[in-house]
C-alpha cells in the first residue's frame, strides 16, 4: 500500500510572511494542528500549534506582527506519496513524529500522513500501534 492511498490529501498551507495570528485562526477554523509553510510555492517548514504557543505566545511576541517564518519549524521531515506505508511509518517512528508532510516527486506539497490516517484508513493495526508507541517514547 502506498502513502497516497491513506494520507489526508491537500490541506491548508500558509505563506511564510503571514502572521502568527492568521496561522492560529486557520488552525482554529479548520480544527488542525499543523500548517505547511510555503515561500514562492516551495515548502520551507511547518508551523504547529505547539510552535505558536512555545515560540510566540510564551515569548510575548506580537501575534499580528510576527510572521510564521519566525516561529515555524525548519527542516521538516517529508515523505513521498508513492512511498510504501511501511517505509513512511518507519520514518515517523525513527524521527518520533506523528505527522509526515507528503510531497509528490516534483517536490510539491500534496498532503499529510498522520498516525490517525494509519489507524483509520486501512493500515495494519500492529503497524499503527508500533508507530504510536515509538512516537510516544521520551527522547
C-alpha span between 72 and 76 (Å, rounded): 10
The Cα 93–Cα 28 span in angstroms is 28
Query: Do the Cβ atoms of 95 and 77 come closer than 8 Å?
Result: yes
Q: At what angle do helices 85-95 and 125-135 cross, to 10 degrees?
A: 20
Residue 125 is predicted with a pLDDT of 61
Total number of residues shown for the chain: 139
Query: Mind listing the pLDDT tens digit of every residue in the chain (139 residues)?
Result: 999 999 999 889 999 999 999 999 999 999 999 999 999 989 999 999 999 999 999 999 999 999 999 999 998 899 999 999 999 999 999 998 889 999 999 999 999 999 888 887 655 666 656 665 655 556 5
Instruction: Check which CATH number belongs to the domain holding 121 and give it.
Output: 3.10.580.10
- What are the φ/ψ torsions at residue 85 (nearest 5 degrees)? -60, -40
Is the whole-model pTM more than 0.75?
A: yes
Tell me the three cell numbers of residue 93: 517512528
Beta strand pairing status for 78-80 and 8-9?
A: unpaired
Q: Which domain, by its residues, includes 119?
A: 3-135
Q: Which of 77, 78, 87 is nearest to 1 (CA)?
A: 87
Q: Total structural domains in the chain?
A: 1
Determine the pLDDT at residue 49.
94
d(CA 15, CA 35): 10
Please tell me the distance from the alpha carbon of residue 94 to that of residue 21, in angstroms, as a whole number.
Answer: 32
Please answer whether residues 63 and 19 qualify as being in contact, where contact means their C-beta atoms are separated by less than 8 angstroms: yes
Amino acid at each position: 500500500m502506498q502513502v497516497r492511498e491513506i494520507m489526508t490529501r491537500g490541506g491548508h498551507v500558509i505563506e511564510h510572511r503571514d502572521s502568527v495570528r492568521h496561522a492560529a485562526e486557520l488552525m482554529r477554523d479548520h480544527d488542525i494542528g499543523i500548517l505547511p509553510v510555503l515561500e514562492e510555492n516551495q515548502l520551507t517548514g511547518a508551523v504547529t500549534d505547539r510552535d505558536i504557543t512555545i515560540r510566540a505566545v510564551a515569548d510575548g511576541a506580537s501575534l499580528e506582527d510576527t510572521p510564521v517564518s519566525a516561529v515555524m519549524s525548519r527542516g521538516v521531515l517529508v515523505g513521498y506519496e508513492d512511498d510504501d506505508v511501511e517505509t513512511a511509518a518507519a520514518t515517523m517512528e525513527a524521527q518520533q513524529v506523528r505527522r509526515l508532510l507528503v510531497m509528490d516527486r516534483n517536490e510539491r506539497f500534496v498532503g499529510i500522513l498522520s498516525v490517525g490516517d494509519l489507524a483509520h484508513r486501512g493500515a495494519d493495526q500492529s503497524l499503527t500501534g508500533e508507530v504510536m508507541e515509538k512516537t510516544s517514547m521520551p527522547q
